[in-house]
Every structure is written in C-alpha cells, then in structure tokens.
Amino acid sequence: MPSQPGPRLLSLADRVPAGRPMADIGTDHGLLPVWLLVRGRVPSAIGVDLRAAPLRAAARTAAAWGLAGDPRLSLRQGDGLAPLEVGEVDTVVIAGMGGRRIAALLEAAPRRRSALRRLVLQPNTEARALRAALQDLGWHLVDEDLCVEGGREFLTLVAEPGVGAPLTDAELLLGPVLLQRQAPAFRSWLVREHARLQAAAAAARAGTGRVPQPLAAALEIVAATLGVDAPSS
C-alpha cells in the first residue's frame, strides 16, 4: 500500500472544497494533490515545486497510486503561484513553509490571487505575520485547525476573499477561530506556548536584564488568555 497522508495533510485535505480544481504550491512528495484525486474530492489538481527533485518524488507518488500520466494531475516546476494560469484553480494550498514566506508568495501574485476563492495554509512558523498579511491583502479567516502529528502541533489556516473585522493583537497572535472555539487541543497548546514564552523571557532577563517588547507582549496575551498572571518584565 503506498504511503497515506497523516493528520497534518488530512487537516489540509479536509479543508479543500470538493468539486473544485486546486493547486498545491511547494508540493514536494505530492501526496496531497494525489490523495485528493484518489479520493475523488477534486476534478483536477496541480502540484508546483521550485525544484525538480521534489517533482520527481511527486511523480513517483502519483505512479504508486495509479495516477501515472493521468490528465487530471499536472506537476509543474516554478516559483510560487507563477506556474498557474489566472483562474485555473479555485483553491491554493501552501504548507510547510514559514508564514512570512507564504505571505510573500501570495503578495507576489496579485492577478492569480484575485481569481482564487480559498487559501488553505499551514505555516510552520510566524503565524502572526501570515494572519496580518492576509488581512492586509483583503482576505479573512473562515477556519483554523490545530492538529498533532509526531508529537508536534501543526496549524492550518483557511482564508477566503473579503475584508473581515480587524483582528485584535490576541487574534493575530493566537487566531480568531481558535480563540473563539477554545478546543481542548488549543488549550493544551496554549499551556505549552505559555511555558515556552516564560522560559524565553527568563533567558532574556538573565542575559540582558530585560525582555524584548514583542516577547513581553506575546507573553501577556497568552497569560491573559489562559487567565494566569504574566511576570513583570
């Protein structure tokens, strides 16, 4: 049996609208577009990667699932959204890159972006910067998911075109949907994030005698959300 997606890729797959063409930017192994086609969820899928080696891996994944030469799957080499025709897909997935990098790929493609109806994004860092960039680009968050794979949490953001209510600092940092839902996985993540920020603040205080403002602000927001006291900086 060829390799199957784990919870991280399934969190993305579940948020790709059924019946609409999609593209996976930075597809690497190609398992997401292949899986969506195998499951019959999308009529066509495009896997894009900057480098040739990942696209060869994606072609092997397609062959393993019986999709070699299938006209519904297109694998293209190129930078970000550039290999897509304007209006060719409704949904773009970008996963496994930093939030600022994902934002830069979206900012670099205004015409292609404006023809999209949904973005499904999985930043591995800098979620705050990505939420802020989406807001600046005139997109709003309609869903957020935290899933666990290999003992690590992964965040999925789903955005659609249209300006929403301006996000507060807490919503930018922690996610408007996650904050509203208060799911158990989010609360557990918040407790660990609080411990991580506290350790970083203690290290900064020991090293320079002060806690940098962005770190102090993040700690204050996380502590307030958890309902515990933030240490004074």
From the CB of 102, what's the least distance to ligand SAM, in Å? 10
Q: Which is nearer to ligand SAM, 123 or 175 (CB)?
A: 123
For residue 214 the two structure tokens come to 């962005």
Q: Which is nearer to ligand SAM, 51 or 210 (CB)?
A: 51
138 phi and psi, to 5 degrees?
Answer: 85, 30
Amino acid at 221: I
* Rounded-to-integer distance, Cα 211 and Cα 147, Å: 31
From the CB of 209, what's the least distance to ligand SAM, in Å? 38
* Rounded-to-integer distance, Cα 194 and Cα 72, Å: 45
From the CB of 2, what's the least distance to ligand SAM, in Å? 15
Give contact residues for ligand SAM (rule: CB under 6 A).
25-28, 48-51, 54, 79-80, 95-97, 105
* Rounded-to-integer distance, Cα 131 and Cα 133, Å: 5
Residues 30, 62: contact at Cβ < 8 Å?
A: yes
Residue 84 DSSP class:
S
Q: Which is nearer to ligand SAM, 151 or 166 (CB)?
A: 151
Q: Which is nearer to ligand SAM, 21 or 80 (CB)?
A: 80
From the CB of 70, what's the least distance to ligand SAM, in Å? 20
